[in-house]
Copies of this chain bind each other. A is one copy, B any other.
Amino acid sequence: MAVGDTAVGDTGVGDMDERELWQELGQQLRVDAVRASAKAGSGHPTSSMSAADLAAVLLAAHFRYDFDAPHDPRNDRLVFSKGHASPLVYGLFRAAGALTEEEFGTYRQFGSRLQGHPTPVLPWVDVATGSLGQGLPVGVGMAIGGKRLNQLPFRVWVICGDSEMAEGSMWEAAEHAAFYELANLTAIVDVNRLGQRGETMHGWDLSVFTRRFEAFGWQAIEVDGHDVGAIDAAYREAEASDRPTAIVARTVKGKGYSKVENENGWHGKAVAEEAVDELGGLRNLIVDVAKPAAGEPHVFEATGGEWPSYELGSKVSTRKAYGEALAGLGGDDAKVVVLDGEVSNSTYAELFKDAHPERFLEMYIAEQQMVAAAVGLQVLGWKPFCSTFAAFLSRAYDFVRMAVVSQATVRLCGSHAGVSIGEDGPSQMGLEDIAAFRALNGSTVLYPCDGNQTAALVRAMADLEGISYLRTTRGDTEVVYDADEEFPVGGSKTLREGDDVALVAAGITLHEALAAAETLAGEGIEARVVDCYSVKPIDGATLADLRIPIVTVEDHRPEGGLGEAVLAALADHGVATPVTRLAVRELPQSGPPAELLAAAKIDAAHIVEAARAAVRTGAPA
């Protein structure tokens, strides 16, 4: 934005030339960081002060954004990967005229939108940051979206800390940005030398960072992060590049307040208001941020797709049904995009790829980047599904956790759940996934047992908000539901009636429970079989109404899984039904699936045994 374009009058911009404006704005951002943190009594002013000039030049001269229409897909995107510099984020919003001085003063108060780390409670914050190393990977997702999906010329700017460059996820992002040729992505690395407890590994050796970015295929530019002219020139180079650009800026932590400048021991601490004087006092500049470039987002055609259906009694794996349903869903809903972690021939996401190659994103073996990219894509209105082995989604757990704080809607599919995968052994078995994903705020956890149920749940996931997780099984399982059966989220299915004992299962163990019920019937024990395909929310009403001894059985660890979900539902309903929980209670090994189910004591024979005991005593054996 040329200074001539800026609003005048009470904005204070007046006749300043560009450099003067940028410098003044930088000082204003510092003053505001000091003010906000001093009032709150906490926060990260010094980490904001180091990046203030970088942010000032960006806002005043390069960023294109309509603050009145934050969801306009043509907007540039700004991600503070170093989310602790939240006073700087909020200062920028004030300088853009988006935040009032009054609201600015509520920083870190209960009920304020100005939280300790930025979250999308504020409309100009796309994603929550504050777990370091996540902003750049999320920015990669946004930039992939802009380039490949939305096909709009907006830019993605990510302000990174130097400390967080130690997170491997930053290099996953570097790798993918280069691979996807994201010339629309700029990483601004605020090398202020000081981490939380002391100097970083590399101090002010900027070349460490530039060499690495270059080795990963980026343009990298070293700059004095307090020289506004040099910053502007670097941004111009970034805008002109045909590659992603890293601007590696030498900065001073606490810059502008001599008492704390470049001093260790001031991370995350409020500084005294006296700093405001040294910084030249309060300013109230309002800059007229440039509006986004014109353009219409690309729209993919919904070409229609074949919806899978499976014959009762036939066999198909739920992972394959996932892929077939996803391909069908992609035909109906052109907003659906699919990401996979280099195992699409195992998760069957490849069936979507075959049908809709332009909406499939190969994320290679980089699960953190996969989830982060999905978070970035959903900001732009896409409906991402991500898949890998259930076990390997644990690699991205912090990213999923932060996606919750971002109020993001991301759909995950974890295949190869449980010991039933067989010979590949325990490293490949998802055994903690239900516990991990149930524990997330607002999440949905689904665990289908057959092809038709899987397909229905995939369709349901398309319309769910928040984090939804589908758990699929490696081996083929018998189709036990008609293709037109409905499976509401939060529901369950009673597949067999019986009044002596209830076998509550989901996924692979549902089939073991059905076999057990058959055996029990031969002994005169009538077992009811309940399919809790919706593990969260669980069908508490149905469970509470059982009022007969319950045996739960799951190919998962006993903690946090189906069994405890059932117990919680019963307790919440104030019902005291005895429950025996069968689950994987030892470290599994390799072997054929049937032998492993037996060894884990979750096969039909062990269900029969547990059911007998439950009927006999009304309690666990």
- Taking beta carbons and an 8 Å cutoff, which residues of A are in contact with B? 40, 42-43, 83, 108-112, 115-117, 119, 121, 128-133, 163-164, 166-172, 175, 179, 195-197, 200-201, 211-212, 214-216, 342-346, 350, 364-369, 391-392, 394-395, 397-398, 401-402, 404-405, 407, 423-428, 431-432, 435-436, 438-442, 536, 557-561, 563-565, 567-568, 571-572, 574, 576-581, 584-587, 589-592, 595-596, 599, 617-620
Contacts and interface: CB of A to CB of B under 8 A. Distances in A.
A117 B168 CA distance: 24
B587 A424 contact: no
Contact of A592 (B110, B402, B592): B110
For the complex formed by this chain, how many copies does it contain in all? 2
A578 B571 contact: yes
B590 A427 contact: no
29 contacts: A40-B423, A42-B424, A43-B423, A109-B590, A110-B592, A111-B589, A115-B589, A119-B589, A129-B427, A167-B365, A168-B169, A168-B170, A168-B369, A171-B171, A196-B342, A196-B343, A397-B398, A401-B432, A402-B427, A405-B427, A431-B439, A431-B441, A432-B439, A432-B440, A438-B559, A439-B561, A558-B568, A564-B567, A576-B577
B432 A364 contact: no
B391 A439 contact: no
A342 to B, nearest CB: 5
Contact of A117 (B132, B197, B405, B425): B425
B342 A438 contact: no
A181 to B, nearest CB: 12
A488 to B, nearest CB: 20
B441 A587 contact: yes
A170 B405 CA distance: 27
A568 B574 contact: no
B424 A116 contact: yes
Contact of A195 (B342, B369, B578): B342
A86 B509 CA distance: 29
A168 B166 contact: no
A568 B590 contact: no
Nearest to A168: B168
A345 B166 contact: no
A212 B578 CA distance: 59
Contact of A201 (B179, B428, B435, B589): B179
A211 B129 CA distance: 31
A439 B559 contact: yes
B364 A201 contact: yes
Which of A116, A368, A407, A577 is packed against the most chain B CB atoms within 10 Å? A116
A540 to B, nearest CB: 11
A116 B428 contact: yes
Of the listed residues A112, A365, A431, A577, the one surrounded by the most CB atoms of chain B closer than 10 A to its CB is A365
Nearest to A163: B365
A129 B166 CA distance: 23
A561 to B, nearest CB: 8
A557 B115 contact: no
Contact of A168 (B109, B368, B424, B559): B368
Contacts of A168: 167-172, 366, 368-369
A346 B196 contact: yes
B169 A423 contact: no
Given A115-B590, A117-B427, A132-B365, A560 B438 contact: yes
A503 to B, nearest CB: 16
Given A211-B215, A559-B565, 14 more contacts: A110-B590, A110-B596, A111-B591, A115-B426, A116-B428, A166-B364, A168-B169, A197-B342, A405-B426, A441-B585, A571-B578, A571-B580, A574-B578, A576-B576
Given A167-B366, A365-B167, A368-B168, A439 B435 contact: yes
Nearest to A442: B587
Contacts of A563: 568
Given A365-B133, A366-B167, A427-B117, A574 B435 contact: no
A577 B577 CA distance: 10
Nearest to A599: B110
A546 B200 CA distance: 52
B110 A591 contact: yes
A110 B593 CA distance: 10
A133 B568 CA distance: 37
Contact of A435 (B131, B560, B577): B560
A438 B441 contact: no
Given A559-B560, A560-B438, A200 B427 contact: no
